[in-house]
Amino acid sequence: MQKEIIVIIGGPGTGKSTLINQLTSLGHCCYPEISRQVTAEAQKSGIEQLFLEDPLLFSQKLLEGRIQQFNDAEKEEHPFIFIDRGIPDVVAYLDYIGDPYPSHFEEACSTYHYSKIFMLPPWKEIYQSDKERYENFEQAQQIHLHLKETYQKYGYAIIEVPKETVDNRILFILDHISEK
């Protein structure tokens, strides 16, 4: 059986981390979102919101972390590895804010290829802001569109996960990865 590196994407507050946490508790190999870790490290250095203060530095740290996650996932012995956000997310967010970035960002998107992409749509009823998630719901909807466009630009067929309970969303994903 060939290994599959599966990414769960979506704008802020769509339930990605909840799904990853539940998949982990069910025994699946999962890699968490790393932007909260990057943000927390910057906050320890006195930078409240690194993405807002230095988007390119923040994005470079994310890019490095997501490439590391991809490389680590390739070494896993599990047949399926789930990752909360992928490398193209970095480009999508920079495009969303309209900031330029070096060509190695796009090269990374072309070099590292995931098996499947599951997208969680904006869902106002579950959306919440917090100290790391500063976007409002309307901004989250715009980010969703940028994510979709970016992943499609790099040749991915996006599988949209329905707005359902966590368990039903997981069943939907597992049904789609077991199909061959």
- The whole-model pTM stands at 0.91
pLDDT tens-digit readout, 43-53: 898 888 787 78
pLDDT at site 169: 96
What is the domain extent for residue 76?
4-175
**Helix/strand/coil (H/E/C) assignment for every residue in 48-91:** CCHHHHCHHHHHHHHHHHHHHHHHHHHHCCCCEEEEECCHHHHH
- Here the CATH number for the domain that contains residue 76 is 3.40.50.300
- Is there a domain that residue 75 lies in? yes
- Is there a domain that residue 180 lies in? no
The tally of domains found in the chain comes to 1
pLDDT tens-digit readout, 78-133: 999 999 999 999 999 999 999 999 999 999 999 999 999 999 998 877 767 665 55
